[in-house]
Amino acid sequence: MKSTRLLKTYDERTTLRYLEYKGLAFVSGRDFCNVHHWRRTKNGTILAVAYAEERLDLCPTISGLVRGELVIAGYVIEPIHGEEGEEEAGVGVGNSGAVRTKVTYVVKTDIKGSIPGWIMKIKSKEQPMQLLEMKNMLDEEANAYPGGKKKFIFDKINEFIMEEGEEEGEEGAAKGEEGEVGEARGEVVEGTRVPE
């Protein structure tokens, strides 16, 4: 990926983003204008989806680039917790003591234009490696965080829990339900460990 930028924020979980990819050999670069949305379930799984949104007012076509279309893309990011007794054996837990994560990624893209098969093979193999790029970006941000990576993870988890608790509290109050926020927080806190 050559660059990305935020074009519009619809709400705290939904954005419009521009992405530009470098060309390869004699093939023009591609760009995309996509809506990104994510949700977190009560068990800690994060669901993310993205799709093309043609907003020429915010995302005009650029000479020299071919506008691709992201038909649909999605991530399911699931925390993997060890079963009782497995923790001592290290099952479901990384070497650092952090809970492991399972990522499922699906994508259907129309990159438009004519591209030779050998370039398609190269690019298809690179696509899943974006997960590694995301991890590296997060590691870089975490390592630069005041207090280091451990504090970054701890603060982000607590920030996330607080946001979720406030949201669930609003939903529960609107429905006349009580106690859901505390229960949801307990599940998240119990299922999350900060690496040592």
The predicted-structure confidence for 152-178, as pLDDT tens digits, reads as follows: 777 777 776 666 666 555 555 444 443
Domain count, the chain: 2
Q: Which helix (H) or strand (E) holds 48?
A: strand 46-52
Residue 73 sits in the same domain as residue 112: yes
The pTM for the full model equals 0.61
Q: Indicate whether 98 and 172 sit together in one domain.
A: no
- CA–CA distance, 180 with 133 (Å, rounded to integer): 36
The average confidence (pLDDT) of the chain is 74
Residues 108, 155, single domain; the answer is no
Q: By residue range, what is the domain housing residue 52? A: 3-116
154 and 109 within one domain: no
CB-based contact 195:153 (threshold 8 Å) = yes
Question: How far is CA 5 from its chain centroid?
Answer: 15
Q: In this structure, are 21 and 106 located in the same domain?
A: yes
Task: Determine the Cα–Cα distance for residues 108 and 149; give it in Å rounded to an integer.
Answer: 34
Residue 131 resides in a domain: no
Does residue 154 sit in the same domain as residue 105?
no
pLDDT in tens, 34-69: 999 999 888 888 999 999 998 889 989 889 899 999
58's CB contacts (< 8 A; 6+ apart) are: 7, 8, 16, 33
Type of residue found at 37: H
> Would you say 79 and 98 are in contact if contact means Cβ atoms under 8 Å apart?
no
- Does 16 lie in the same domain as 106? yes
Asked if residue 172 is part of any domain, the answer here is: yes
For residue 176, give the 3-state DSSP assignment.
coil
Residue 128, in any domain of the structure:
no
